[in-house]
Amino acid sequence: MDNQRFGVGIAGLGLIARTHATAYARRGDKVRLVAVCDADPAVANSFADEFGARAYTDYREMIADPGVEAADLILPHFLHKEAALTVLDAGKHLLLEKPVAPNYPDSLAIYQRARASGKHFMVAENTRYIAAYRAIARLLAEGAIGEVIQVRTELRSNEKRHLSMPGNWRTRYELGGGLVLDTGAHSFYLLSWLLGEVAELRAVGRKVFPLANEIEDTAEVTGLLKSGAHFSCMFTSVSEAPHSERLELYGTKGVILMDQAQDPVVRVFGGDHDFAGRAVLEVQPALDAWRPGGWHFESVLAEVEDFVGSLADQREPEIDSRDAVYAIAVVDAAYRSIRSDQALIDLSHLTREDIQ
């Protein structure tokens, strides 16, 4: 520790890394970015110069740096298990970008090793920190729409550039590619957080973009929650629209509609004669504050700042990383359904409490 500030190193300097670095700069009273790592030396050196950190091209060397007390891993999915266990075995704290790992057994192994290590561990799942979802969690707790009987999520993005790159890890299942893994981790975390566990599901995945890669770029997962509510999760990575998310909740007393691409972002309807509904303005205090792309940046900032605060104050973070591991169990079930011609997969036996 340097003047009560702990040193952190970021491994993987893609687009999201800059947001993480910005969060560390904002919490400069508690943390200092001391090291960065990327396989591309030019990227690593440029980032290090900008943020006043040491540059590495091998994450193992960065983890071994005595000034790195916590590692922030933003690596390709197939590297998550090896890198995460290396951090924990080195006796250092860990912030791990979602998905935890490409499959449930590896995700569970990371979680269990983190618990055994006694080190601070958090999965960077920004869903928990999105203002609209936090407002909706409060509305549900207050019973604003009664019992939820149907829920629908939609995640839209455009990954055509990555899908067009031969050999890119995102295009190969063995390297942790796959739309349901990458985006389903968010939706399945959201469902379990707001409404509880999955009882059963079936899934379909298709490759719409006509290029020689093996992953699905469009998918839908449907099923039942243990609460009895029906759910449907739609994903696409070939949308000709900005990255955005939508949530529809249909209850016995009303409806909540949320869409990050619309203004207002959240609206609540109180019955079939409530044509206007009401905007939930805590998500956007003024109409001129609506920023369609800002929600993602702001939620990632909040996520990283919570990690910093929870480590510095020796408290639990807001997110329970066990729920992020549970989401990967649902991802695995979805792929089992896709690969067995949309078979119905029973998940009633699995609970989040089983993840220990």
* Mean pLDDT in residue range 111-116: 97
Q: Does residue 198 sit in the same domain as residue 296?
A: yes
Q: Does residue 139 sit in the same domain as residue 265?
A: yes
- Please list, in sequence order, all residues whose beta carbon lies within 8 angstroms of the beta carbon of residue 313, skipping any fewer than 6 positions away: none
Residue 313's pLDDT is 95
Q: Does residue 96 sit in the same domain as residue 203?
A: no
Match 């190193």 to its residue by tokens: 9
* pLDDT single digits (tens) 149-175: 999 999 999 999 888 888 889 899 999
| Total domains in the fold of the chain | 2
109 in any annotated domain:
yes
Q: Is the pLDDT of residue 14 over 60?
A: yes
* Mean pLDDT in residue range 326-332: 98
Last residue of a domain, one of 107, 125, 143: 125
Burial class (CB in 10 A: 0-12, 13-18, 19+), 314: exposed
Of the candidates 201, 97, 187, the one whose C-alpha atom is nearest the C-alpha of residue 133 is: 187
* pLDDT single digits (tens) 195-204: 999 999 999 9
Q: Does residue 176 sit in the same domain as residue 236?
A: yes
Neighbours of 4 (CB within 10 A): 9
Q: Does residue 132 sit in the same domain as residue 260?
A: yes
* Mean pLDDT in residue range 39-56: 98
User: CATH code at 336?
Assistant: 3.30.360.10
Q: Does residue 79 sit in the same domain as residue 134?
A: no
Last residue of a domain, one of 80, 107, 125: 125
Residue 293's pLDDT is 79
Report the alpha-carbon distance of residue 316 to residue 223 in Å, rounded: 32
User: CATH code at 47?
Assistant: 3.40.50.720
* Mean pLDDT in residue range 19-32: 97
pLDDT-derived band of residue 4, with 50, 70 and 90 as boundaries? confident
pLDDT-derived band of residue 287, with 50, 70 and 90 as boundaries? very low
Residue 166's pLDDT is 81
- Residue 246: its H or E element: strand 244-251
258 in any annotated domain:
yes
Q: Does residue 109 sit in the same domain as residue 147?
A: no
Report the alpha-carbon distance of residue 297 to residue 182 in Å, rounded: 18
315 in any annotated domain:
no
Rounded to the nearest integer, the mean pLDDT of the chain is 94
Contact 344, 337 (CB under 8 A): yes
Residue 209's pLDDT is 84
Q: Which domain holds residue 340?
A: 128-300+325-346
Burial 119-145 (b: 16+ CB within 10 A, else e): bbbbbbbbbbbbbbbbbbeebbeeebb
Report the alpha-carbon distance of residue 199 to residue 212 in Å, rounded: 35
Match 């739309």 to its residue by tokens: 179
pLDDT-derived band of residue 91, with 50, 70 and 90 as boundaries? very high
Q: Does residue 120 sit in the same domain as residue 250?
A: no
* Mean pLDDT in residue range 17-46: 97
Last residue of a domain, one of 77, 92, 125: 125
What is the side-by-side strand order in the sheet with 31-37?
A: 54-56, 31-37, 6-11, 70-73, 93-97, 121-124
305 in any annotated domain:
no
Q: Does residue 330 sit in the same domain as residue 182?
A: yes
Residue 162's pLDDT is 85
Q: Is the pLDDT of residue 284 over 90?
A: no
pTM listed for this prediction? 0.95
Residue 199's pLDDT is 98
Q: Does residue 113 sit in the same domain as residue 249?
A: no
- Angle, helices 294-312/15-26, rounded to nearest 10 degrees: 50
Q: Which amino acid is at 49?
A: D
Q: Does residue 121 sit in the same domain as residue 18?
A: yes
* Mean pLDDT in residue range 263-279: 93
97 in any annotated domain:
yes
Q: Does residue 60 sit in the same domain as residue 107?
A: yes
